[in-house]
Structure 1
Amino acid sequence: MQTQLAPEYRETAAGREAEAILRKCVHCGFCTATCPTYQLLGDELDGPRGRIYLIKQVLEGATPTRKTQRHLDRCLTCRNCESTCPSGVQYGHLVDIGRALVDEKVPRPAGERTVRWLLKEGLPSPLFGPAMKLGQAVRGLLPDALKAKVPAPRDAGAWPTRTHPRRMLMLAGCVQPGMAPNINSATARVLDAAGIQPVLAPEAGCCGAVKFHLNDHEGGRAQMRANIDAWWPHVAQGAEAIVMNASGCGAMVKDYGHQLRDDPAYADKAARISALTRDLSELLPALVPALRPKLAALPDAQRVIAYHPPCTLQHGQQLRGGVERGLGELGFTVRTARIEPHLCCGSAGTYSVLEPEIATTLRDRKLDHLGELRPAVIASANIGCITHLQSGTDTPVRHWVELLDEALQA
Structure 2
Amino acid sequence: MQTDFTARQREDPGIVTAAGIIRNCVHCGFCTATCPTYLLTGDELDSPRGRIWLIKDMLEAGGPPAPAAVHHIDRCLGCLSCLTTCPSSVDYRQLVDVARVHIAEHHRRPWHQRLLRGLLSTVLTRPALFAAAVSAGRLVRPLAGLLPAPLQAMLAMVPAKAATAAAPRAGVFSPIGAGAGARVALHAGCVQPVLRPEIDAAAIRLLNRHGVEVVVAATGLCCGALDHHMGKEDRARRLAMANIEAWEAELAGGGLDAILVTASGCGTVVRHYDELFARDPAWAARAARIAGLTRDISEYVATLDLLPPVIAPGLAVAYHSACSLQHGQQVRLQPRQLLAASGFDVREIGEGHICCGSAGTYSILQPEMSQALKARKQAAIARTGATLVASGNIGCLEHLSSEAAPTIHLVELLDWATGGPRPSALPVSGNRDDS
Which TM-score bucket, shorter chain as reference?
A: over 0.9
Q: CA deviation at 1:263?
A: 1.9
Residue 333 of structure 1, aligned match among 345, 362, 365: 345
Q: In the superposition, relative to structure 1, how do residues 161 and 5 fare at CA in structure 2: closer, same or farther (>3 Å)?
A: closer
Whether contact under 8 Å (1:171, 1:243) holds in the other structure is yes
Name the counterpart of 1:320. Answer: 332
The 1:15/1:156 distance shift into structure 2, 3 A limit, reads same
Q: Does 1:296 align with 2:310?
A: yes
Output the amino acid matched with 2:244.
I
Give the alignment of 1:11-410 within 5 angstroms. Answer: 11-61=11-61, 64-132=65-133, 134-135=135-136, 138=139, 141=142, 143=144, 145=152, 146-151=154-159, 152-156=161-165, 161-163=173-175, 165-236=181-252, 237-287=254-304, 289-292=305-308, 295-300=309-314, 303-337=315-349, 339-390=350-401, 393-407=403-417, 408-409=419-420
Whether the 8 Å CA contact 2:163–2:197 is kept in 1: the answer is: yes
Contact kept? 1:386, 1:397, Cα under 8 Å: yes
Cα 1:135–1:356 shift into 2, 3 Å: same
Q: CA RMSD in A?
A: 2.0
Larger mean Cα displacement after TM superposition, 162-171 or 89-98: 162-171
Deviation at 1:139, TM superposition (A): 7.2
Assess if the C-alpha contact under 8 Å between 2:173 and 2:204 holds in 1. Answer: no
1:334 corresponds to which letter in structure 2?
V
Find the aligned partners of 2:51 and 2:403 in 1 and give their Cα distance.
Answer: 33
Moved over 6 A (4+): none
SS in 1 for 2:327: helix
Q: Which moved more, 1:250-259 or 1:56-65?
A: 56-65
Rounded to whole Å, the distance in 2 between the matches of 1:374 and 1:94 is 39
Deviation of 1:275 after TM superposition, in Å, equals 0.6
Aligned residues: 403
Any idea what SS the aligned residue of 1:266 has? helix
SS in 1 for 2:291: helix
Give the residue type in structure 2 aligned to 1:304: A
TM-score (ref. length: structure 1)? 0.93
Relative to structure 1, the CA distance from residue 147 to residue 109 in structure 2 (aligned partners, 3 Å threshold; closer, same or farther) is closer
How many Å separate the matches in 1 of 2:234 and 2:183? 31
CA contact (8 A) 1:21 1:89 kept: yes
Query: What amino acid is aligned across from residue 149 of structure 1 in structure 2?
Result: M
Q: Give 3-state SS (helix, strand or coil) of 1:198's partner.
A: strand
Tell me, in whole angstroms, the C-alpha distance in 2 between the residues paired with 1:234 and 1:386: 30
Secondary structure of the residue that 1:143 maps to in structure 2?
helix
Distance in 2, matches of 1:135 and 1:307, equals 32
Spell out, residue by residue over 1:133-165, the C-alpha distance to the aligned partner (whole angstroms, 9 max, x if none): 524764764526354210233323796953474
Change (3 A) 1:106 1:16: same
- Aligned residue for 2:184, secondary structure, equals strand
> Unaligned 5+ residue runs, structure 2?
146-151, 421-434
What is the percentage of aligned positions where both structures have the same residue?
Answer: 43
- Where in structure 1 are there 5+ consecutive unaligned residues? none
State the Cα distance separating 1:328 from its structure 2 match.
1.1
